[in-house]
Structure 1
Amino acid sequence: MPIIQDTYRPLFFFKNGHVSTVYSGLIRRVKGFKQERERMTLPDDDFLDLDWSYSEEKTNKIIILLHGLEGDAHRPYMTATAKLFNKNKVDAVCVNFRGCSGSDNLKYRSYHSGATEDLEAVINYLLKNKDYNEIFIKGFSLGGNMVLKYLGERNEVPKEIKAVVAVSVPCSLEGSARMLHTLQNRLYHDRFKKHLVDRLRIKQQQFSDILSLEELNSIKTLYDFDNVYTAKAHSFKDGADYYNQCSCLQFLQNIKTPTLIINALNDSFLSHECYPVKEAKQNPNLFLEMPKHGGHVGFVDRKNIYYNENRALEFVLRKS
């Protein structure tokens, strides 16, 4: 599918990728929005907390929203999308990945970029217990990689899934990890690492027979975290094996569901491998939009409705 020409024209100061990223992550607020929480039991007896919001009118359409690394269902990029879709007659369920809802999950494992079994569990739960015949999915960053991998690694996906949008996607996990370890991203890197290690300290106390305090204290970088925890907890050989197996790039050619990827060219988290131009040109179901501006999960726009949110609504409703 030809590359889509974007129409994003941000205000001058939001043309800077770091300004857009930081403002959207730390300053933006979404008001007048409520969610209802439901706890869903997973096949391995762990759980996910799902935060629901609804259209004022009864609808058979729902959007599943997937957050990024160390995010949750209450992040503004999640709630703003849910609010916009609710206003356009689509229910929304914001998924908190394992351990991200404010309650520690039960298992030693947690979540990662390729944990499509948990996304599949959510989809199966909706199909079995809810009355929706049109399902849309929107994933951000890590969540974007997850849903693209989900679509491409299976021969078939449920017919109810009509369209998918993925924003600021690290299509190459190794490439994105490499970028996060550069000097320009040092503050982001350190913030992610601190949050991850702080939560792992709690888990270490519960699973000290699996993870020693010495191993925990050896984590100095995100590479270390993925080698010490992510890989071992989720049955990968090491961090490199995790990146290799879970990067969605290798699965894009197989996607049969209409899918839109929006990756800003000034996203400092993304390496050149994260812009799948060749894959989009060769797959009629894959649409790639690469705005010049936007940062990482930024795309600040007018009236507190972001560019990626409007584009997602336009794309999925056109495919429904």
Structure 2
Amino acid sequence: MSRTIVPADFQAARGLSNRHVQTLLPRLRPLTALERDTEILNLPDGDFVELAWVRPAPERDDAPLFVLFHGLEGSFDSPYARDLLATAASLGWRAVLMHFRGCGRAPNRLARAYHSGDTADAYWLIGLLAQRYPRAIKVAAGVSLGGNMLVKLVAEQGGDGLDLAGAIAISAPLDLATSADALNRGFARNYQRHLLKTLKSKVIAKMANGPLPIRLSPQQLKRLDSFWAYDNEVTAPLHGFSSASDYYRRASAGRLIGDIELPTLILHAADDPFMPGNLFEKLPTPSDAVRVEIARQGGHVGFMESYRSRLNSWLARRVALQLQDWASVPRQIRATAGRD
């Protein structure tokens, strides 16, 4: 891909262009019906993550493979997850979602959680899939927190460090400090309040099961009212950071987008309420391997359009096109090699 930042071809459904309407609308629609098989993937440190494999799966071992990483407190039951997994499966791809630690059906084992820069579990999973399906084309996608994590991972590993044909990052908070600021203003504080409530409830449950390396009582934890406060008092000490500022600086993937070697598509809305409107003006120039598509509207993981007279996810349609594009490249290479 050329080094470029271009307008996305997304157009909001008529009358539904407001950024908060776009953000909330997917959550008001019925979930896409999807069956899954659950796998517990044990990790080197004794913890585990839960994998959700879309059922039925392709019979061919060389069927292309789509790996999805969800956003903060997301899961297989997040609307975008169902839409993207179903889209990949409809194209004949083997599709799997990795739940971050504690986001599946059971709490994780260790006195820690997950965070925006936590790439080790995804790296372990992709390595495992490379062993299981060595002949399969693989594409990974990350949404919101999962998108920042994925961008950081592909930047760290270089072009040959992962068995991936490409990566897709959707509504990724590539500058965590400015995202924390954006979520602490105006109507966006409602998103912050909702997310913090679910995060704090998990930590309180862990406190009841044993000591954690944080200095708060459950009552003090409940009073934390911003991501800056929560990440300073909980995320940082749980995961080896000295402060929220240290965590945001080290975990933000935006500073690395000039170093990416793997083909990477970044989808973003300029009106995303989780981020500043000028996000990409503050980041380094993307590398030649990166394509950034910015829609004027779309909210946070919204992108609801009117397509063929129905309200649909533009994200699912755009991701489908990208999967087909990347899947076709290896076939062309194999066909050329077969004539030599």
The verdict on a shared fold, with TM-score over 0.5 as the criterion, is yes
Shift of 1:37: 0.6
1:71-150 to 2 correspondence within 5 Å? 71-150=74-153
Q: Is the 8 A contact 2:52 2:76 kept in 1?
A: yes
- Call closer, same or farther: CA 1:132–1:104 in 2, change over 3 Å: farther
The alignment-based identity, stated in percent, is 27
SS in 1 for 2:208: helix
1:1-320 to 2 correspondence within 5 Å? 1-24=3-26, 26-53=27-54, 54-56=56-58, 58=60, 59-158=62-161, 160-208=163-211, 210-211=213-214, 212-213=216-217, 215-272=220-277, 274-275=279-280, 279-280=284-285, 282-301=286-305, 302=307, 303=310, 305-320=312-327
Q: Output the aligned Cα RMSD.
A: 1.9
Provide the C-alpha distance between the structure 2 equivalents of 1:70 and 1:159, rounded to a whole number of angstroms.
Answer: 26
Shift of 1:316: 3.0
- Call closer, same or farther: CA 1:43–1:159 in 2, change over 3 Å: closer
What are the Cα deviations for residues 60-80 of structure 1, in whole angstroms up to 9, with x where unaligned?
311110111111122110111
- Call closer, same or farther: CA 1:180–1:200 in 2, change over 3 Å: same
Provide the C-alpha distance between the structure 1 equivalents of 2:184 and 2:242, rounded to a whole number of angstroms.
Answer: 21
Q: Is the 8 A contact 1:64 1:92 kept in 2?
A: yes
**Greater shift in the superposed pair: 53-62 or 35-44:** 53-62
Shift of 1:3: 2.1
Q: Is the 8 A contact 1:218 1:224 kept in 2?
A: no
- Call closer, same or farther: CA 1:204–1:88 in 2, change over 3 Å: same
Q: Is the 8 A contact 1:60 1:131 kept in 2?
A: no
**Greater shift in the superposed pair: 121-130 or 286-295:** 121-130
TM-score by length of 2: 0.88
TM-score by length of 1: 0.93
Shift of 1:304: 5.5
Gaps in structure 1 of 5+ consecutive residues = none
Shift of 1:275: 2.3
Provide the C-alpha distance between the structure 1 equivalents of 2:317 and 2:137, rounded to a whole number of angstroms.
Answer: 19
**Greater shift in the superposed pair: 157-166 or 167-176:** 157-166
Gaps in structure 2 of 5+ consecutive residues = 328-340
Provide the C-alpha distance between the structure 1 equivalents of 2:167 and 2:11, rounded to a whole number of angstroms.
Answer: 24
What are the Cα deviations for residues 158-205 of structure 1, in whole angstroms up to 9, with x where unaligned?
463001111111110001011001123121111111111111100111
Code of the residue aligned with 2:186 in structure 1: it is: L
- Call closer, same or farther: CA 1:132–1:49 in 2, change over 3 Å: farther
Code of the residue aligned with 1:299 in structure 2: it is: F
Code of the residue aligned with 2:141 in structure 1: it is: K
Provide the C-alpha distance between the structure 1 equivalents of 2:179 and 2:209, rounded to a whole number of angstroms.
Answer: 31
